[in-house]
Amino acid sequence: MDSNHEAVWHRLLSARVTRRGALRGAAAAGVATLLPLELRRAGASEPARPAGTAIQNRAPFRPIRPTTRDELVLPAGYRYDLLRAYGDDVAPGQPFGYNADFTAFFPIDVPDGGRSSQDGLLWVNHEYVNSMLAYGYREGRPKTPGDIAAERMAVGGTVMRVQRGQDGRWRYAADSRNRRITGSTPCRLTGPVAGSPGVGGAIQVIGTVGNCSGGVTPWGTVLSCEENVDEYGDPVTPGGFGLGWSEYTREHHGWVVEVDPFDPSFTPLKRTAMGRLRHENVAIRLAPNGLVVAYMGDDKRDSCVYKFISERAYDPGAPAANLQVLETGKLYAADFGTGRWVLLDYASEPRLRDATRPDGSRLFGGQADVLLDPRAAALLLGGTPVDRPEDIEIHPLTGHAYIALTNNNLHGNFHGQIVRLMEEANAADALAFQWDFFAVGGPQSGFSSPDNLLFDPYGNLWMVTDVTSSAAGDPQSIYGFQGNNSMFFFATEGSDAGKAVHFASGPVDCELTGPCWTPDGKTLFLSVQHPGEESESLTELSSHWPQQDGLSIPRPAVVAITGLPGWAPGRTFHGW
């Protein structure tokens, strides 16, 4: 990418910081929290709040202090139940996968409205494998067929039933719907890329990998996002994951994958109309006309923010038809310089049709090629490359999109920001927007490298961090002020809006990932990903969490956190 593209975002940041004094405010108050001047001038208003809704914007806990303990540390009065760790049975012959990430709780009574907060199906993503910690692999030796099979089984996703007992504890429960979706599961491509030359004419493909964060649709399916997929099958991949995989075609991966957790016979659907990216997650919002709008970040330094607008509208009364909603639509990239969404459409954009490679060959031969490489198309048409756009989530009361820009050390942005994007007229399918800072990471604010985001029904934001394992918890690093990777609470309204309040701290070397609620808000599901990732060997371990069943080797896991007060009486909230 040329240096002019790389500089765009940082010129915009500099201009806004200079104009509005954002960082001076951050240093004084711990954060930059600004109502956009453009919205004030325009007299824009936010959606009316439901009658009788009390805004509760105080953290429901006493904050913890930064720590480097090898434990999941929670505030006083809170506890966690370990539901499953890597290798535990999910179904016969199907163990829980590695590096748990995104979670989504589906109440067991979804067909009747989905209000149960005591019993449900839990979806969990599995992003990648640490081969040494997972099964004792040592670099340098050839991988056996058994090694490859273990790796294929360890990625993808898990569906498992979980229940809260009379004693208040959450436990895994056997169920005929419990199952694994893995690197060997047959999947189907849908949309413009299916059957195209760019995927070798394929419609049926094998497996889902790199499953990072995700989302949930209004019709009750899960969207699992394939992120770091290009390393698989590469014989020179550092670290070993995916090393030696045969029959792996990169273009068959890197998609948003839709799964029905309640139907074990469901074939996972890879939605190519949404583009092939390093997908972090999908945040769904409905447009006034019922069209489904999906916000997505391309988790890579100097990459773009995207929006997909479906061609078909969501119909609450037509569950079968809703499974076709994500098959077709338009993909846009955000131009933060002009506040416009740029359409990535081969048919209407001559610059895409005329684009060539250095050897003179055409860069794109049709819309399928654009969707196979939307990053190239976005940069060509003026999409703004930003600093690792990871999670995007929608404020439940205002409709604003909050974007976690984790960091970008190539440009000296070591601690990242959370940016707020406001659509014109507050319509999800608008093609113009305003944006501003919500929070800026660094010692002055107490957090660094924002990653997964989660809202509660009062509009408070909960966030987990993604400081690299080699620096997290190191008091000598620039990240030492935070301790281990952590979870924070932010009010988005009131005098404390944007100030980070420390809720949880993870074990050594881990990330906390994929938080989600039960409808009553009394349970928070959370993944503990790659504890002990910096271990030198199986005899020199940096973490021993969760120290379960006499096993001292660290294992990724998913937990249920209780002690939360829950929402006001009569309210339920899924977070999707």
**Above pLDDT 70, what percent of the chain?**
89
Q: Give me the pLDDT at residue 564, please.
A: 97
Average pLDDT, the chain: 90
pLDDT above 50 (res 51): no
What are 499-532's pLDDT values in tens digits? 999 999 999 999 999 999 999 999 999 999 999 9
Q: Answer whether residue 379 is part of any domain.
A: yes
Instruction: Tell me the average pLDDT across 51-57.
Output: 54
Burial class (CB in 10 A: 0-12, 13-18, 19+), 93: exposed
What is the secondary structure of 199-239 as a DSSP string?
GTT-SEEE----EEEEEE-TTS-EEEEE-S-TTTT-TT-TT
What are 162-205's pLDDT values in tens digits? 999 999 999 999 999 999 999 999 999 999 999 999 999 999 99
Which residue carries 């196979």 as its tokens? Answer: 372
pLDDT above 90 (res 139): no
Q: Answer whether residue 384 is part of any domain.
A: yes
What are 388-430's pLDDT values in tens digits? 999 999 999 999 999 999 999 988 899 999 999 999 999 999 9
Q: Tokens representing 287? A: 């447009």
Instruction: Tell me the average pLDDT across 535-549.
Output: 93
* Reported confidence tier of residue 81, pLDDT bands at 50, 70, 90: very high
- What range defines the domain where residue 246 resides? 3-45+54-562
For residue 420, give the nearest of 18, 97, 22 by alpha carbon.
22
pLDDT above 60 (res 40): no
* Reported confidence tier of residue 111, pLDDT bands at 50, 70, 90: confident
pLDDT above 60 (res 25): no
Q: Tokens representing 551? A: 């096993």
Q: Do 36 and 436 meet the contact criterion of CB atoms below 8 Å apart?
A: yes
Cα-based angle 4, 227, 106 (whole degrees, multiple of 5): 135
Q: Give me the pLDDT at residue 238, please.
A: 42
Q: Do 205 and 190 meet the contact criterion of CB atoms below 8 Å apart?
A: no
Q: Answer whether residue 274 is part of any domain.
A: yes
Q: Answer whether residue 13 is part of any domain.
A: yes
- Pairwise CA distance, residues 421 & 83, whole Å: 36
Q: Give me the pLDDT at residue 113, please.
A: 83
Q: Answer whether residue 567 is part of any domain.
A: no
Lowest mean pLDDT among 29-33, 84-88, 366-370, 557-561: 29-33
Q: Answer whether residue 71 is part of any domain.
A: yes
Q: Answer whether residue 576 is part of any domain.
A: no
Q: What is the CATH number of the domain that holds 385?
A: 2.120.10.30
Q: Answer whether residue 569 is part of any domain.
A: no
- Pairwise CA distance, residues 211 & 155, whole Å: 7
Q: Structure pTM? A: 0.92
What are 302-348's pLDDT values in tens digits? 999 999 999 999 999 998 999 999 999 999 999 999 999 999 999 99
Burial class (CB in 10 A: 0-12, 13-18, 19+), 367: buried
Number of separate domains in the chain = 1
Q: Give me the pLDDT at residue 458, please.
A: 95
What are 340-369's pLDDT values in tens digits? 999 999 999 999 999 999 999 999 999 999
* Reported confidence tier of residue 571, pLDDT bands at 50, 70, 90: confident
- Pairwise CA distance, residues 4 & 207, whole Å: 38
Q: What are phi and psi of 464, to 5 degrees?
A: -110, 155
Cα-based angle 519, 418, 253 (whole degrees, multiple of 5): 75
Instruction: Tell me the average pLDDT across 139-161.
Output: 91
Q: Give me the pLDDT at residue 574, please.
A: 75
